[in-house]
Amino acid sequence: MTTGGNFYNRLGVKRIINAASWITVYGGSIMPPAVVQAMDDASHWFVDMHELNEKAGNIIATLTGAEAGLVTAGSAAGMVLEAAATMAGNDPAKIWQLPDTSNMKNEIILHRAHRVNYDHSFRAAGAMLVEIGNASTTQEWELENAINENTAAVAYIFGPRRGGAIPLRRTVEIAHQHDIPVIVDAAAMLPPLENLSRFIEEGADLVSFSGGKGVMGPQSTGILAGRADLIEAAYANGAPNSVSVGRAAKVCKEEIAGLITALEIFVDTDFEAVNANWRAKCVYVVDELKEIPGLRVELEEARPDHLEGGSNFAKAVIHFDQDWNGPNIEDINQMLFDGDPGVRVGLSDIGDALAVYPVALQPGEEEILAARLKEVLTTGR
């Protein structure tokens, strides 16, 4: 069962059972003990941060198959650095000038179907977003047509949905014909393990991942991998350089130790066993809830080939029938959250069903979760 909690108890902060996946607002992930130990170990010495960043970057390069790598302060920070690197490069004057982009290439082309909250990170560096396509389709000529002398990069975001975007490989081919780099946000695309090298292999120039989601490193870390010159530029646009947009997203030596250790554990993980364990938790929840009248509780299998965030693992989805006469989704969520421990579940894509994500559940928590869900779903009936 769960240990720890003394600090939270002292502050009066209650525990949350997280069936909503590795999302930021509930604390990212729970780091394996070896990660916490590596952070402790790294906390006793001073080191030269340039040397540490370079050696850590080399490990990222090896594990991703990229030319170079960098530990970032999360995927969003990685996106700020991607934008800064492709606009200002290594030029100290331009780096200093950002986020003011006058007299610089500052346009980042983005599929409209890829718009997510996090594309703000590109704008935070000063970039202007240029949209192509519509919500469900994009034509190659639209990408060709959007490229001009102000184009700094083409961005590609693997977010909650794909919406008929031009495939990454083809996007890369077109961009590269014009010498434009392709920068990728794949924050929540790990696992599956193959994705760690997949987007680099498909030709992306920079790829950003979260370190505190499926990699289970410190929540405030991320991974940037890609072309050596662009990684060098990304580093120049961040800490320890104190006149850069990335300076506000500093990574400490302990976080570097934690992220690298987490990544090494991640690439060594038997995901067949992990997926079976996650799926079993979903099956348990389905079995516990399926008799409640008015609900359709289903196991949704993993679809890692979909390349959409959240489709990489099995889920238990609770659909509400026409004749459902219990509490509505909002009230259910409130009741779940108000308990102690609080319970958080996810929502289906369009918000009409509840989704139980197994990945952040700690051992045995599926039982508390299912019991609490049953209680709430049968309230007043």
Please name which of 49, 48, 14, 16 lies closest in space to residue 239, comparing C-alpha atoms: 49
Tokens of 50: 């340039």
* Ramachandran class of 54: left when φ > 0, alpha when ψ lies in -120 to 50, beta otherwise: alpha
Least separation in angstroms between CB 309 and ligand PLP: 5
- Closer of 222 and 238 to ligand PLP (Cβ): 222
- Number of Cβ within 10 Å of residue 187's Cβ equals 27
Amino acid code (one letter) for 172: V
- Closer of 126 and 211 to ligand PLP (Cβ): 211
Least separation in angstroms between CB 308 and ligand PLP: 10
Q: Which helix (H) or strand (E) holds 296?
A: strand 295-300
Least separation in angstroms between CB 78 and ligand PLP: 7
The three-point CA angle 196-198-199 to 5° equals 95
Residue at shortest CB range from ligand PLP: 74
275 neighbors 302 (Cβ within 8 angstroms): yes
Least separation in angstroms between CB 371 and ligand PLP: 30
- Closer of 24 and 139 to ligand PLP (Cβ): 24
Least separation in angstroms between CB 262 and ligand PLP: 13
Which contacts of 143-150 are long-range, i.e. CB under 8 A and separated by 24 or more positions? 143/109, 143/171, 143/174, 143/175, 144/174, 146/109, 147/109, 147/174, 147/175, 147/178, 147/180, 148/107, 149/105, 150/105, 150/106, 150/107
120 neighbors 126 (Cβ within 8 angstroms): no
- Closer of 75 and 311 to ligand PLP (Cβ): 75
| Rounded-to-integer distance, Cα 234 and Cα 129, Å | 19
- Closer of 108 and 286 to ligand PLP (Cβ): 108
Least separation in angstroms between CB 142 and ligand PLP: 22
Interface residue list for ligand PLP (CB under 6 A): 24, 74-76, 116, 118, 159, 185, 187-188, 210, 212, 222, 309
- Closer of 56 and 373 to ligand PLP (Cβ): 56
- Closer of 3 and 117 to ligand PLP (Cβ): 117
- Closer of 159 and 358 to ligand PLP (Cβ): 159
Write the DSSP assignment of 302-370 as a string of letters: --GGG--TT-SS-EEEEEE-TT--S--HHHHHHHHHHSSSEEEEEE-TTSSEEEE--TTPPTTHHHHHH
**326 φ/ψ angles, rounded to the nearest 5 degrees:** -90, -165
Least separation in angstroms between CB 209 and ligand PLP: 8
Least separation in angstroms between CB 210 and ligand PLP: 3
